[in-house]
């Protein structure tokens, strides 16, 4: 039974709030994953491989492995042209040694200069084929290149099977392979640190393909410029693969980090997940002790410039029990020239959860950022930032949508019975551009259900209105609209709509309870994107809402508690309208007189 990253989440943002408080659960899960599984040996047997006939035990790696030893120490600055097989064996392959003499005498290998293994376009560079017994494989200071998966395998660089096999990789490259840089099928776990998976071309999963395996990528890692014909340019996760990516500094040699510039002719250029897979993107930091630190809270998980010809430029998830849990993310410049969901596409009963832990984040306001993602120019396509359909469920909290564009729903679009709750988020300058008509910033159609609670909409541009509800259910509560150029806030038809506790510069289309028009700019510095409520003009939005229709469960946009009631009394409740909750000290610092 595979480890699970998070406790089972329901789709409400109340459960997301509970998830924020249960950070210890997250820590405990990864602590268990990284517990050593190696057995203690009295004596470690090893052999050295290199080009020195006097000091090297072998001149090729396979011959050393075949002896059944524990460890192979490999001389650097050489290219070993081999297609290596590891079968029913635990072993360490350690590259980066200056010489065999040094390797034989306990020299510390130099990680920045790895040993290169070239598959000569014949077969996978390394093929691990273990039985059901427990084995640990360690690959360190190794570069795999020019492998070929052929018709039998998916992995061109590394191919691995073995239900009780764990693989630990560090200072590793897998590049220019035909087939996935790494393919793992039903192994116990794969831990990848300080790795570059780049320029691999595959049918599925150009960077990594995984099935029924717990995968963690962390450190100074990058998955870039990979391509897949069918789906998953960077990552292809299926059959209950649990894939986690933690933020970190740029890869030392490549100078980039995250998932960048991956492409596919199909869906999910950055990541494709279906069939019960779980995707965890974590811009947080976990110190597990013993020198193992996952993530960096000062750096986002970057999903950048990925291009899917169909749906889901950055991320595509599909299928019941398939889920993506995202925190501390930065989706930017992803696009789908002929499909939906420039940033993310959620299909066929899948679940998307975007939230923020009650911890430091790479940006105080834009902790979960969607910037300039684009879906197709076609008249039927939508969701520049996020697109959801087919009875899928999304819970989006503390996000920031800026400059995204699409034909329908420049930021978010729901259709086909999709459900989504969006809370504590900012939408600004999402617009029509580059041939897209930009009809609506966010909307729902065809029996979908959209709940908007305590969000801020400011200076967006739309061809028709900011929100749309067609043959759907819309709950619009506690939202602040300052749309200087837009005449209409809401367009609806054949829908059940609840508008409650709204502050808006324009009120066209808004019919409901506690609707307040506010002409004056309510923000501290709108021009410079400071959307905190001003201590003077922003008071129109203060202490205006209660929980009769919607109970906010997250903190505000910069992680201050909700429901702070000023001593001057309130109109209808303790909650401020919009993504910001104002406090007394902010009132005075922002010019209250």
Q: Which of the listed ranges 18-27, 114-123, 427-436 does the model predict with the highest average pLDDT? A: 114-123
Task: Determine, yes or no, domain membership for 544.
Answer: yes
Residue 592 has a pLDDT of: 46
The kind and range of the H/E element at 24 are: helix 23-33
Q: At a CB cut-off of 8 Å and minimum separation 6, what does 40 contact?
A: none
Report yes or no on 518 lying in a domain: yes
Q: How far apart are CA 206 and CA 156, in angstroms?
A: 9
Structure confidence at residue 589 as a pLDDT band (50, 70, 90): low
Residue 567: predicted pLDDT: 67
Taking only the tens place, the pLDDT of each residue in 556-578 is: 999 999 988 776 655 678 999 99
Contacts of 16 (CB under 8 A, 6+ apart): 9, 353, 355, 395, 397, 553, 554
Is residue 83 domain-resident? no
Number of H helices and E strands in the chain, helices first, is 5, 50
- pLDDT for 211 equals 98
* Confidence tier at 590 by pLDDT (50, 70, 90): low
| pLDDT score of 586 | 54
pLDDT in tens, 2-48: 233 332 333 456 544 444 445 666 677 777 777 654 443 457 799 99
- Which of 171-185, 488-502, 551-565 is least confident? 551-565
Pairing of strands 419-423, 393-397: parallel
The percent helix, strand, coil of the chain (3-state, each to 5) is: 5, 40, 50
Helix, coil or strand: residue 453: strand
Q: Compute CA 475 distance to the chain's CA centroid, rounded to the nearest angstrom.
A: 27
Residue 189 has pLDDT above 70, yes or no: yes
Asked if 502 and 522 count as a contact pair (C-beta separation under 8 A), the reply is no
**Residue 475 or residue 593, greater confidence:** 475
pLDDT digits (tens, 9 = 90+) for 210-261: 999 999 999 999 999 999 999 999 999 999 999 999 999 999 999 999 999 9
Got the DSSP string for 159-177? EEE-TTEEEEEEEEEEES-
Q: Region 280-285: what's the mean pLDDT? A: 95
Q: Is the pLDDT of residue 110 over 60?
A: yes
Residue 500 in domain: yes
Predicted local confidence at residue 40, as pLDDT: 39
- pLDDT score for 15: 46
Quote the pLDDT of residue 129. 97
Query: Does the pLDDT of residue 348 top 80, yes or no?
Result: yes
Are 327 and 19 a contacting pair, CB within 8 Å? Answer: no
Question: pLDDT tens for residues 391-408?
Answer: 999 999 999 999 999 999
Judge whether 365 lies within some domain: yes
Contacts of 72 (CB under 8 A, 6+ apart): 46, 47, 48, 49, 61, 64, 65, 91, 92, 93, 94
In a domain, 322, yes or no: yes
What total number of domains does the chain contain?
A: 1
C-alpha span between 320 and 76 (Å, rounded): 47
- pLDDT score for 38: 41
* 1 — pLDDT class (breaks 50, 70, 90): very low
The predicted pLDDT at position 6 comes to 32
Is 444 domain-assigned?
yes
Domain hosting residue 510, numbered range: 310-593
- pLDDT, one tens digit per residue, over 65-101 is 999 999 999 999 999 999 999 999 999 999 999 999 9
Among the residue ranges 286-290, 411-415, 527-531, the one predicted with the least confidence is: 286-290
Rounded distance, CA 552 to CA 532, Å? Answer: 18
Task: Give residue 456's pLDDT band: very low, low, confident or very high (50, 70, 90).
Answer: very high
Average predicted confidence (pLDDT) for the chain: 91
Tell me the torsion sign for CA atoms 302, 305, 308, 311.
positive
The tokens for 551 are: 């109970």
**What is the pLDDT confidence band of residue 485, given thresholds at 50, 70 and 90?**
confident
In a domain, 233, yes or no: no
Contacts of residue 228, Cβ cutoff 8 Å, sequence gap at least 6? 201, 202, 203, 204, 205, 206, 236, 262, 263, 264, 265, 266, 272
What's 83's DSSP letter? -
Q: Could you tell me the CA-to-CA distances from 318 to 321, 393, 418 in Å, in that order?
A: 9, 11, 12
Cα torsion through 74, 76, 80, 85, rounded to 10: 30
């Amino acid at each position: 039974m595979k480890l699970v990253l998070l406790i089972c989440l329901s789709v409400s943002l109340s459960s997301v709030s509970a998830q924020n408080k249960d950070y210890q659960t997250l820590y405990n899960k990864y602590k268990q994953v990284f517990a050593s599984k190696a057995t203690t040996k009295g004596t470690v047997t090893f052999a050295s491989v290199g080009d020195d006939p006097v000091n090297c035990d072998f001149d090729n790696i396979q011959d050393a492995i075949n002896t059944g030893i524990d460890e192979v120490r490999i001389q650097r600055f050489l290219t070993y042209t081999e297609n290596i097989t590891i079968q029913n064996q635990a072993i360490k392959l350690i590259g980066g040694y200056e010489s065999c003499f040094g390797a034989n005498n306990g020299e510390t290998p130099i990680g920045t200069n790895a040993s290169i293994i070239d598959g000569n376009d014949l077969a996978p560079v390394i093929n691990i084929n273990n039985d059901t017994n427990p084995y640990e494989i360690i690959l360190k200071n190794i570069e795999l290149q020019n492998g070929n998966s052929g018709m039998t395998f998916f992995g061109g660089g590394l191919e691995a099977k073995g239900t009780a096999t764990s693989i630990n990789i560090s200072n590793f490259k897998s590049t220019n392979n035909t087939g996935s840089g790494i393919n793992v099928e039903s192994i116990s776990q794969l831990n990848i640190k300080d790795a570059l998976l780049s320029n691999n071309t595959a049918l599925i999963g150009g960077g990594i393909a995984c099935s029924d395996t717990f995968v963690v990528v962390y450190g100074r890692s990058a998955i870039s410029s990979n391509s897949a014909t069918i789906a998953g340019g960077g990552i292809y996760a299926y059959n209950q693969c649990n894939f986690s990516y933690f933020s970190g500094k740029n890869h030392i040699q490549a100078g980039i980090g995250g998932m960048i510039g991956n492409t596919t002719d199909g869906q999910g250029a950055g990541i494709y997940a279906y069939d019960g897979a779980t995707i965890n993107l974590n811009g947080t930091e976990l110190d597990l002790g013993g020198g193992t630190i996952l993530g960096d809270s000062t750096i986002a998980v970057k999903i950048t410039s990925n291009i899917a010809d169909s749906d889901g430029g950055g991320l595509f998830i599909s299928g019941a029990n398939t889920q993506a849990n995202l925190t501390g993310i930065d989706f930017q410049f992803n696009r789908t020239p002929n499909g939906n969901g420039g940033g993310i596409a959620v299909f066929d009963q899948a679940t998307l959860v975007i939230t923020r832990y009650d911890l430091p984040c790479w940006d105080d306001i834009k902790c979960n950022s969607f910037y300039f993602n684009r879906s197709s120019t076609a008249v039927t396509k939508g969701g520049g930032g996020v697109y959801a359909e087919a009875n899928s469920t999304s819970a989006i909290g503390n996000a920031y949508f800026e400059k995204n564009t699409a034909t329908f729903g420049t930021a978010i679009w729901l259709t086909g019975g999709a459900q989504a709750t969006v809370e504590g988020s900012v939408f600004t300058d999402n617009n029509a551009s580059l041939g897209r008509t930009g009809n609506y910033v966010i909307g729902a159609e065809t029996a979908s259900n959209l709940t908007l609670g305590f969000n801020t909409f400011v200076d967006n541009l739309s061809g028709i209105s900011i929100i749309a509800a067609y043959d759907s259910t819309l709950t619009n509560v506690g939202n602040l609209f300052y749309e200087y150029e837009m005449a209409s806030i809401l367009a609806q038809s054949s829908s059940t709509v609840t508008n409650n506790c709204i502050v808006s510069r324009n009120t066209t289309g808004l019919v409901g309870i506690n609707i307040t028009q506010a002409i004056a700019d309510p923000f501290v510095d709108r021009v410079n994107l400071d959307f905190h409520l001003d201590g003077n003009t922003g008071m129109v939005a203060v202490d205006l809402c209660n929980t009769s229709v919607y109970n906010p469960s997250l903190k505000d946009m910069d992680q201050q508690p909700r429901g702070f009631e000023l001593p001057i009394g309130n109109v209808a409740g303790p909650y401020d309208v919009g993504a910001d909750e104002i406090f007394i000290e902010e009132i005075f610092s922002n010019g209250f007189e």
